[in-house]
Structures are given as structure tokens and as C-alpha cells.
Structure 1
């Protein structure tokens, strides 16, 4: 879905960010600014919320296989160096 900037003040801000960051386009400047803002907002989340997200990702992976010897597997990875 396209994002149209209809507000002249917001358009001017996007252009200034583009110019100062040397982005090739306003789209690139807006994307970079939004990604940085999103990363900052995620870092500001309480540890409990960040941990809940990590635990949900781990749960989505499913249960671990108790027959896997992680030490042997890790040692084998390092022995190949």
C-alpha cells in the first residue's frame, strides 16, 4: 500500500531528512527514519515484554529434542575450524 504525504510540513520534514542523511529518495529517508524509530521503541519496551516476545518465538519453534547432545554438536562445529 502506498503512503502519500499530503501535509506540506511533513513533506518538508521528509525532504530535509533526505537531504541531511543523503538518502537518494524521500522514500528511502522515510523508511530509514521509521526503522530507526521502531528500533528505538522496541528498545524502550520493558524487559518483561521483550522477554515475552522471545519466549513466544521459542515456543513457536516447538519442543526441543532431548536426544540431541548440544555439547557434542557445538564441539563438532568448532573442531571443523
Structure 2
């Protein structure tokens, strides 16, 4: 779905960034959004980032397979 920007200030800022980066206004807006999202991620505490990873891992489907102790021991020559 297209994004429609009706703010003259936002349009001017997008044009300014586009000119400085030698990209289109669309790329300038994308760059600004990506950078802002990355900045948000950095502001999270390490525990918040770990919790997000744990939640993603927990959401993965279970394989139903059990760990094979003999196999893992053989990897370590035990």
C-alpha cells in the first residue's frame, strides 16, 4: 500500500536527505525509518532483547525428536 505524505515539512526533509545521500525520496524515507527502528532496538535493555529472542525460539514448532546422548558424546570423543 502506498504511503501518502501530505506534510510539506516531511516532504522537504525527505528531499533534503535524498539530495545528501544521492537517492530517491522513497529511499530516503526508507533509510530514515530503518535507522530509527535500529535506534529503538539499541535502546532496549539486554534483557528485553534476550526476551524477544526467547519468545521467537519458543514460537518455533517442536521437532518431536529427543536428543541422542550417544551421538553428542561421539562428537566429543567420549
Please say if 1:3 is aligned against 2:3: yes
Q: Structure 2 stretches of 5 or more lacking a match?
A: none
Larger radius of gyration: 2
CA distance in 2, matches of 1:10, 1:70: 60
Deviation at 1:60?
2.1
CA distance in 2, matches of 1:36, 1:20: 16
The two structures, once aligned, show a CA RMSD in angstroms of 2.3
Alignment: residue pair count: 71
CA distance in 1, matches of 2:56, 2:15: 38
TM-score normalized by structure 2?
Answer: 0.76
Stretches of 4+ aligned residues off by more than 3 angstroms: 62-65
TM-score normalized by structure 1?
Answer: 0.74
1:35 maps to 34
> Could you say if the C-alpha distance between residues 69 and 31 of structure 1 is closer, same or farther in structure 2, counting changes exceeding 3 Å?
same
